[in-house]
Amino acid sequence: MQTKNIMIVGVGGQGTLLASKLLGKLLLGKGYDVKVSEVHGMSQRGGSVVTYVRYGDKVYSPVIDKGEADVIVSFEMLEAARWAEYLKKDGVIITNTQQVNPMPVITGAQEYPQNLENKLKEKGINLDALDALSLAEKAGSSKAVNIVLMGRLSKQFDFTEEEWLAAIEQSVPPKFLELNKKAFALGRDYEV
Amino acid sequence: MKKLMLGNEAVARGLYEAGCSFVSSYPGTPSTEITEYAAKYKEIYAEWAPNEKVALETAFGASLAGKRSFCGMKHVGVNVAADPLFTVAYTGVNGGLIIGVADDPGMHSSQNEQDSRHYAIASKIPMLEPSDSAESIAFVKEAFEISEKFDTPVFLKMCTRVAHSQSVIEECERADFAQKEYVKDGAKYIMMPGNAKKRHPIVEERTLALTDYAEIAFFNRVEDGKDNTVGIITSSTSYQYVKEVCGDKYPVLKLGMINPLPVNKIKDFANSVEKVIVVEELDGIIETHCKNIGVQVCGKELFGLIGEFSQNIVAEKLGAEVPCGKALEENIPMRPPVMCAGCPHRGLFYTLKKNKLTVLGDIGCYTLGAVAPLNAIDTTICMGASVSSLHGFNKANEGATDGKTVAVIGDSTFMHSGVTGLINIAYNDSNSTVIILDNSITGMTGHQQNPTTGYNLKGDPASKINLEALCRSVGINSVRVVDPYNLAECDAVIKEELAKAEPSVIISRRPCALLKYVKHAGPIKTNTDKCVGCKMCMQIGCPAVSMENGKVKIDNTLCTGCGVCSQMCKFDVFESVKGDK
């Protein structure tokens, strides 16, 4: 099969790394060749962060380039807009509608762009937007945004719910398992 | 069993499986995790040294003692370790010795884009270059074999995309490596002129023998292609981009050893194709070698010398189809990295800015003091440069800048190479003021212990350097400690120390807000009715503080309650927190 590309984008500190870890485990378990790539260091200090997950029969490049992503999972609205160019034709952006102001907006040097959801849709981009923060809080913790989004992402795959839950079980501490299962279900079953 | 493993973790796994038992390194992105993962194996003694020179000399000592040893650093770390490097190349080793170096094309976390392959050539040390995690394990094992067989240290060269990508590996058992006996051998190990003159020819012969080995070794391989109008020579992550774009269309010579490079293998490959293209990031090392041996190739004229590659760049240059996406026609604000909410550096940098000081900066999280709205740093060069260049700046200005210029340097960076600059300030009678930003950890690279923290790499209690006593002992009589959360205290002490006619050190002490043991007061409460929207609290550049409808708004998920913003406010909008004002 042709290599599939999933990008996970967000703001440093939002929990994007756990999401890629979970995906990597799931895909390796399904027998695919997998590469997961991230950048550490400077980008973690509240900066824009991106993780690439690629899988298929044989994966070469560890990164995803413009026009290549089958799915972009975005933890934040502005980041969805920033990385939209990486989406392939017929790809889908799953995004949390949460807004986190970057420093140029905080200092007043720039404004946070308005109506990004509509602007992306007007571009002809297949956008699946949800308030993952509220759903995570409903599940019991604002930190479960990543698992809510994984629940949403799971609808893009043929894998069974059991396979996803097993990967979650391997990736989160036991005491948070029930909370994360709930967060996964809320993301998966959310109706627009 | 198959596993996904980070490139750097795979290097550590390779060290374990190869029977390595000694690691001494200095942290630096993207190399840090090699040593952190190595420290998790109980069979490996692993430590953070104060700098890369000490680390390499330490690892050499362990090799001399007969153990398989490793020393890891980032590309600029090799500059610091270059002194022992060029001479260890002459002495050779006893137990195998690997120097792990991680380059950062694209400068994700670095101050320059230097290509460490030049060091391998200049020091005449062989260099292996893996392109994924499985190769990282295999090449570590091969590097030890080469080290011992050819009596040489061996470079293992990583880059950001190999070091920080996870790919599939399979684990093996650890090999037994019996410590070799140390035998006194002055002609080999005492590098004074008489001996070194005899060693240099041995080094040159070694390079010839290694070149012969490069012709037949498994790590330099030809992969067949259907279309021989073009042949591609490549290595490292560039190989992955080439294969991504071309698959098995063109023949590929994949080089795993970058120094010394084979001669006949390259000539034979070139003769089997119509045109040779070299795909390598940064400088034209392979290309220059090809041209030197009379093989015409196309490389840098096509790909350039700057930044990292990707599959789209390689596709474009090779004339293949380049995918493109739809960009939003929108001015999307950048999201640069910032000092975290609660970062102890913030209050100190605000004070420096307020006093309009010239600030010679250094390498660490606090380099972020250079960005808006603080804009409080004038220079950043390399580890330790703040202290030494402050001395030069003030001396050259003959006293005119003494009272309005400071150096800022972190605790780990000060131990790395700042203390030598401070000795120079004391010794050469400089009226300079150095500020040590002591956040009790090596922050930027992700919380590594250092000689000022009281713990070692393995997490065990360790000797803890007393910074105040150290500064006094080198000849600085005026040493003060301030709490950077207390703006009034910082302001007063900085003014006092700059006014003195003697060198001084101010230690700005407060642990990193991200350290697990640090207890926070919790989000600060605001009485927005009192807020007049003057935006004074915005001048500190805290990501937790913003304005909404002309009033201050605190992000409760980020705010630690450090209280620095409350000290900026003249209208009592912020509820008093412990320790402020």
Confidence class for position A42, pLDDT limits 50, 70, 90? low
Q: Is domain A4-189 in CATH 3.30.2290.10, yes or no?
A: no
CA distances from B306 to B110, B113, B242, B250, B462 (A): 14, 8, 18, 25, 43
Residue B555: which region, alpha, beta or left (left: phi > 0; alpha: psi -120 to 50)? beta
- Say how far apart CA B446 and CA B442 lie, in whole Å: 7
Q: Would you state the pLDDT for residue A41? A: 59
Contact B325 A79 (CB under 8 A): no
* Lookup: tokens for B286: 């392979």
CA distance A9 to chain B (A): 12
* Residues of chain A with C-beta less than 8 angstroms from the C-beta of B327: 84-85
Tokens of B294: 């009379």
Closest CA to A94 of A151, A22, A13, A167: A151
**pLDDT band for position A44 (50/70/90)?**
low
**pTM above the 0.90 mark?**
yes
Task: State the smallest CA–CA distance between residue A26 and chain B in angstroms.
Answer: 11
Smallest CA–CA distance, residue B424 to chain A, in Å, is 31
Cβ neighbours of B553 in A, within 8 Å: none
Biggest alpha carbon–alpha carbon distance for chain A? 49
- Contact (CB, 8 A) for B156 and B99: yes
CB spacing of B325 vs A44 below 8 angstroms: no
For chain A, percent of residues with pLDDT exceeding 90: 82
The residue type of B340 is C
3-class state of residue B71 by DSSP: strand
**Quick check: B328 and A84 in contact, CB under 8 A?**
yes
Q: Which residues of chain B lie closer than 8 angstroms to A48, CB-CB? A: 334-335
* Separation of alpha carbons B556 and B518, rounded Å: 18
Predicted local distance difference test score (pLDDT) of residue A14: 84
Shortest Cα distance, chain B CAs vs residue A10, angstroms:
10
3-state secondary structure of B395: helix
Task: Determine whether B317 is exposed, middle or buried from the number of CB atoms within 10 Å of its CB (0-12, 13-18, 19+).
Answer: middle
Contacts of B545 in chain A (CB under 8 A): 106
Q: Is A41 on the interface with B (CB under 8 A)?
A: yes
Q: Which of B291, B209, B217 is nearest to B253 (CA)?
A: B217
pLDDT at position B97 is: 98
**Inter-chain residue contact A40 with B109, CB threshold 8 Å:** yes
As to burial, measured by CB atoms within 10 angstroms (0-12 exposed, 13-18 middle, 19+ buried), residue B65 is: middle
Say if A153 is an interface residue toward chain B (CB within 8 Å): no
pLDDT-based confidence at residue A40 (cuts at 50, 70, 90): low
The verdict on a CB contact (< 8 Å) between A119 and B328 is yes
Taking the Cβ of residue A43 and every Cβ of chain B, the question of whether any pair is shorter than 8 Å is answered with yes
Handedness of CA B201, B205, B208, B213 (dihedral sign): negative
B374 closest CA partner among B365, B386, B382:
B365
pLDDT at residue number B580: 43
CB B234 within 8 A of CB B255: yes
Is 90 exceeded by the pLDDT of residue A159? yes
In this structure, are residues A69 and A88 in contact, taking their beta carbons and an 8 Å threshold? Answer: yes
Kindly state whether A53 is in contact with chain B, defined as any CB-CB distance less than 8 angstroms: no
Cα torsion for A73, A74, A75, A76, to the nearest 10°?
A: -170
User: Which ipTM value was assigned to this complex?
Assistant: 0.95
User: A116 CB near a chain B CB, below 8 Å?
Assistant: yes
Distances from the Cα of B172 to the Cα of B1, B6, B197, B240, B431, angstroms: 9, 16, 43, 25, 59
Rounded CA separation A43/A66 (Å): 20
Residue type at position B576: S
Q: Which amino acid is at B189?
A: Y
Q: Assess contact for B165 and B136: CB atoms under 8 A.
A: no
d(CA A27, nearest CA chain B) in Å: 10
Task: List all residues 6 or more positions away from A82 whose beta carbon is below 8 Å from its beta carbon.
Answer: A9, A48, B332, B335
SS3 A161: helix
pLDDT at residue A38 in the model: 86
- Write the pLDDT tens digit of every residue in A25-39: 999 999 999 999 987
Q: Do residues B16 and B41 lie in contact, with contact meaning Cβ atoms separated by under 8 Å? A: yes
* CB atoms inside a 10 Å sphere around CB B565: 28
Check CB contact under 8 Å for A59 and B167: yes
Listed as ranges, residues in chain B with pLDDT below 70 are 576-581
User: Which of B323, B326, B335 comes nearest A123 by C-beta?
Assistant: B326
Torsion sign across C-alpha atoms B571, B572, B578, B581: positive
Q: Which residues of A touch B373 (CB under 8 A)?
A: 107
pLDDT tops 90 at residue A15: no
Q: Are B473 and B427 in contact (CB under 8 A)?
A: no
What confidence score (pLDDT) does residue B579 get?
A: 46
A82, A87, A124 member nearest B332 (Cβ): A82
**Chain B: nearest CA to A62, how far in angstroms?**
6
Test B335 with A45 for CB contact under 8 angstroms.
Answer: no
Name the residue among B565, B534, B457, B324 with its Cα closest to residue B41.
B457
The tokens for A131 are 């308030």
* Interface contact flag, B330 A42, Cβ < 8 Å: no
Q: Which domains does chain B have, with CATH numbers?
A: 2-216 (3.40.50.970), 221-317 (3.40.50.920), 345-509 (3.40.50.970), 519-581 (3.30.70.20)
Reference B281, options B14, B75, B487; nearest CA is B75
Q: By CA distance, what is A31's nearest residue in B?
A: B2
Can you spell out the DSSP letters for B201-220?
HHHHHHHHHHHHHHHH-TTS
Taking only the tens place, the pLDDT of each residue in B204-249 is: 999 999 999 999 999 999 999 999 999 999 999 999 999 999 999 9
Residues 62-101 of A with CB under 8 A from B: 62-63, 65-69, 78-79, 81-82, 84-89, 101
Look up tokens 């006014």; give the residue.
Answer: B499
Q: Which two tokens stand for residue A130?
A: 């949800």
Closest CA to B342 of B540, B534, B581: B540
Q: Give the CB-side neighbour count of residue A112, counting CA atoms within 13 A.
A: 19
The pLDDT of residue B545 is 93
Alpha carbon distance, N-terminus to C-terminus of chain A: 31
Instruction: Give the residue among B246, B248, B317, B251 at the shortest CA–CA distance from B281.
Output: B317
Q: What is the DSSP letter of B416?
A: I
Contacts of B425 (CB under 8 A, 6+ apart): B387, B390, B391, B432, B434, B476, B503
